[in-house]
Amino acid sequence: MSSSKSFYATTPIFYVNDAPHIGHAYTEVAADVLTRWHRQRGESAFLLTGTDEHGEKILRTAAANKVSPKEWADKLVTESWLPLLETIDVKNQDFIRTTEPRHEKNVQVFLQHLYDTGFIYQGDFEGNYCVGCEEYKTMADLIDGEGDFDGQKVCAIHTRPVEKLKETNYFFKLSEFEQPLLDYYAANPRFVQPESAKNEVVSFVRRGLEDLSISRSKEKFDWGIDIPWDSSHITYVWFDALLNYITAIGYGEDTAEAKAKFESLWPASVQIVGKDILRFHAVIWPAMLLAAGLTPPNQVFGHGWLLVGGEKMSKSKLTGIAPSQITDTFGSDAFRYYFMKAIAFGSDGSFSWEDLSARYQSELANGFGNLASRTIAMIHRYFDGVLPAASQHTEADLQVARVAAEAVAKADQAIDDLAIQDAIAAVWTLVDELNNYITVQEPWALAKDEANRERLATVLNTAAEGIRALTVLLAPITPKACATLWSALGQGSLGDLADQKLSQAGVWGQLKAGAAIGVLEPLFPRIETEAK
Ligand code: MSP
């Protein structure tokens, strides 16, 4: 099994009736960068994303729009969620919707299994429910309301009153998993990351777990998956949603093909979530899996929030920014680069147009784009667009090769640690080294004297080799620019960019001398309009 094991990354499935904003896009991009990185290593790699389509909130919005909830969800998936992936250039292998038969059917298989094995029982429940969060709240989760809600307790996230619900429900025996979970965290210290998130999860579990209500009576609303042994109840939307990670890859299916797929992908390598939903993923989800006799994922990573004006950006607070507002001006590569580079993955980060614009200009346009353009332009000017061969290497040339090899090793390690920002910083040591190399070697000065012809060839060959390494390293982050650059620089020597092994990127002398080099348009053109 291990030889056929794929890298498998997931994003949360997003509430279908929210408008996609840069917070959702941030999670998607991070998961996509990691998956592309693994694929560039030569591994098989699978990215799953999708939409969460059941629950009272969706039912209410659909009703307000006078359509059925399924029609409403279909429209939003087609008009908003699938286009989002195009906008930010995410290359997912699958997109799961919780209204699909492959999901609904196998959620029931899972529930029935837990019911049959005694992990689900019937009981009475009374609690404060926040429809915004689709979650029961404890008193500690509530704050005093203000304005219209003065004198009432409101949800701390949505600042709206909670509803008192009293129902006879089915319960999952979450309390039985307190010790097994603590043991699991101890035995798998990288299961919850980053470290700060892990500590929070461990202390939460240590404070004790209560059983979890996992059904809702249909008397109230019926937009969800029927409890298989009691059709007067539907499944709690989170219990339903979490299972997408396994129903998408064949859980519950009997065919040999589905079983093989499940075996090759589960347990997931990394499940990326925002820290707002870390508890669901680091406590409830592994408990569900343990109850079903399945292995929890290798890692759950809770990233930070994008803040706008110091607050968590969200649609309900009207601070949401649509990703296309950024990509229309700066392009998808800049979007991807900016959010991965400017914010340490795992920490909160503030978005600002000024910062985006400044980094676009200095890091992408001047740092990387210009380096590629001028190197290729000089190969055209001095060698008629044919890559010259290197001869005698000087210490400066060897230093470029050393920096490249180190950048590859450091970036690769950083990706394993999910330190995406550090990986990019490691790659940028090569961008800086190459820019410095060209400034010091002054190929334009060498070109003035025919006696320096060999040296000029070596310098441009070295710069081209460095850019080749950069293209492979940056392909997961800025795929469009790298595809363009590769077709100018590497295609003639080495074939497809997708076939270049990341681990080999720092190996020198791969480009073929004598290969024709294409013409390169600016990778990150000047933005003429004022930023915004
Ligand atoms: N449907 C549930 C998830 C179910 S997963 C089994 C849900 N959906 S959501 O649409 O609200 O998406 C929440 C996720 O969106 C966060 O966990 C995070 O990944 C992303 N983000 C939403 N707002 C964000 C920010 N302001 N900043 C960073 N990420 C944000 O919860």
| pLDDT single digits (tens) 59-98 | 999 999 999 999 999 999 999 999 999 999 999 999 999 9
Q: How far is the CA of 177 from the centre of ligand 1 (A)?
A: 26
Whether omega before 194 lies within 30 degrees of 0, making that bond cis, reads: yes
Which of 63-67, 162-166, 243-247 is the most confident on average? 243-247
Tell me what pLDDT residue 337 has: 98
In sequence order, what are the residues at sequence separation of 6 or more whose Cβ sits closer than 8 angstroms to the Cβ of residue 66? none
Under the banding of pLDDT at 50, 70 and 90, the label for residue 1 is very low
Q: Can you give the three-state secondary structure of 202-265, one letter per residue?
A: HHHHHCCCCCEECEEECCCCCCCCEECCEEEEEECHHHHHHCHHHHCCCCCCCCHHHHHHHHHH
Tell me what pLDDT residue 103 has: 98
Whether residue 343 has its Cβ less than 6 Å from ligand 1: no
In sequence order, what are the residues at sequence separation of 6 or more whose Cβ sits closer than 8 angstroms to the Cβ of residue 139? 128, 153
DSSP 54-118: -SHHHHHHHHHTTS-HHHHHHHHIIIIIHHHHHHTT---SEEEETTSHHHHHHHHHHHHHHHHTT
Ligand 1: which of 10, 11, 14, 301 to mutate, judged by most atoms within 8 Å of the beta carbon? Answer: 14
The vertex-247 CA angle with 340 and 15, nearest 5°, equals 50
Give the three-state DSSP class for 123.
Answer: strand
CB 225 within 8 A of CB 106: no
Ligand 1: which of 16, 22, 24 to mutate, judged by most atoms within 8 Å of the beta carbon? Answer: 24
CA proximity to 282, closest of 394, 177, 380, 165: 177
Burial of 154 (0-12, 13-18, 19+ CB in 10 A): buried
| Region 159-172 average pLDDT | 89
Tell me what pLDDT residue 109 has: 98
| Region 151-168 average pLDDT | 87
Whether residue 18 has its Cβ less than 6 Å from ligand 1: yes
Q: What phi and psi values does residue 478 have, to the nearest 5 degrees? A: -120, 75
Q: Which two tokens stand for residue 359?
A: 């980094």
Whether residue 24 has its Cβ less than 6 Å from ligand 1: yes
CB 323 within 8 A of CB 25: yes
Percent of the chain with pLDDT over 70: 98
Ligand 1: which of 88, 236, 244, 277 to mutate, judged by most atoms within 8 Å of the beta carbon? Answer: 277
Q: How far is CA 59 from CA 63, 240, 339, in A?
A: 6, 16, 33
Catalytically active residues are 21, 24, 130, 133, 155, 158, 312, 315
Q: How far is the CA of 354 from the centre of ligand 1 (A)?
A: 25
Whether residue 48 has its Cβ less than 6 Å from ligand 1: no
Whether residue 23 has its Cβ less than 6 Å from ligand 1: yes
Whether residue 52 has its Cβ less than 6 Å from ligand 1: yes
pLDDT digit string, tens, across residues 98-133: 999 999 999 999 999 999 999 999 998 788 888 888
pTM of the entire structure? 0.93
Atom of ligand 1 nearest to the CA of 244: 6
In sequence order, what are the residues at sequence separation of 6 or more whose Cβ sits closer than 8 angstroms to the Cβ of residue 79? none
* 166, pLDDT greater than 90: no
